[in-house]
Structure 1
Amino acid sequence: MTRPFAASLLLLACLLISACEKDWGVDQHGQEITVAHLQGKWLLINYWAEWCGPCRTEIPELNALAMAEHNLEVLGVNFDELRGEELAEAAEALGIRFRVLSDDPAERLKLSRSEVLPVTYLVDDKGVVRERLIGEQSAAGVLAHLARLRGE
């Protein structure tokens, strides 16, 4: 096998493997969350539950972050693993305006189950978990963490 041919095969294999990365599942509205949509963005992944008081009070702050332009995708995850209509109803009842994942990304991101709520993870644009934030977050606080992590 010639070197150029072998190099071409290797490049093709790499492209196929990267293109086959599994999507993130559906959100609370049944809309697919694709790898392509999240590619190159920083992620804020927030675990919440209906029974968690601080989770409820931080939702307006997370909604504000989701609506702003910071190259940041806000994603929620229900701690109690609600799915389908139950997930949609819980998110609506709490006034969540950001996307909530039906499938927990813990395995994908190598996260251990948190014993406290709320817990928020900041994931960089390469898919690396950079920060774990425990407790209620504010939009200003999250933006300060992002600026520090991004070296701004």
Structure 2
Amino acid sequence: MFRPLLAALLCACALQVQAAPFTLTDTAGATHALADYRGKWVVVNVWASWCAPCLAEMPELEALSRGHADLVVLGLAADGLDARRVDQFAQRLGVSYPVIAGDDQALRQFRLRAFPTTVVYNPQGEQALVKEGRVTRAEIEGLIAAAQAARPGLALNAH
């Protein structure tokens, strides 16, 4: 009785959502478009300087960014700071991945409801996860491992 329901639930959970394309410009002036990262996992973390859980997860995201050759982390600041202040703030926290001073247009692309919010895209550009609240490196690596088990070819390679 429950097997068909469980099977349907598991299939629904395994479905990926084709993501709307995004283009963001970081504090150094470089442009980052989802299409540019085809073949890589992309993690977009939306944060604010006043958000304690946001700041607490940044070391995890930094370690994730440094630990995998086929993964890109992008930080999107959502508290209205200008690019110079966002860059200085990120540097003080030891963040080396690209950070973006989010304007209204950039933030609308992610339909935020909470801080922090992390959106993970698989190498095909499909949205694999939207997580509201603090995320850990282990959670993201676990998601990728589960996706790889379900769909071979979505591997995550270490540096």
TM-score clears 0.5: yes
Equivalences for residues 64-75 of structure 1 within 5 A: 64-69=63-68, 71-75=70-74
Aligned length in residues: 127
CA distance in 2, matches of 1:35, 1:132: 15
1:75-129, CA deviations, whole angstroms, 9 ceiling, x for partnerless residues? Answer: 110111433212212222332221113452642xxx3122x21111111222221
1:97-112 maps to which residues of 2 (within 5 A)? 97-103=96-102, 104=106, 106-107=108-109, 111-112=110-111
Q: Quote the Cα distance in structure 2 between the aligned partners of 1:106 and 1:65.
A: 26
Q: Which runs of 5+ in 1 are unaligned?
A: 1-21
Partner Cα separation in structure 2 for residue 37 and residue 83 of structure 1: 25
Contact kept in structure 2, 1:87 and 1:102, CA below 8 Å: yes
User: Would you say the 8 A contact 2:51–2:116 is kept in 1?
Assistant: yes
1:120 paired residue among 118, 121, 138 = 118
Q: Which protein has the larger Cα radius of gyration, Structure 1 or Structure 2?
A: 1
Higher strand share: 2
Q: What TM-score does the superposition give when structure 1 sets the normalisation length?
A: 0.71
**Mapping for residues 2-81 of structure 1, pairs under 5 Å:** 24-33=23-32, 37-69=36-68, 71-81=70-80
Identity of aligned residues (%): 28
Tell me the distance in 2 between the aligned counterparts of 1:149 and 1:53.
30
Residue aligning to 1:19? none
Take 1:113 and 1:76, find their aligned partners in 2: how far apart are those partners?
Answer: 14
How does the TM-score come out when normalised to structure 2?
A: 0.68
SS of residue paired to 1:149: helix
Name the CA shift for 1:65/1:25 in 2 (closer, same or farther; >3 Å): same
Shift of 1:150: 3.0
Let me know the Cα RMSD of the aligned residues.
2.3
The C-alpha deviation readout for 1:18-56, integer Å capped at 9, x for no partner, is xxxx88343122233356642221111101111111111
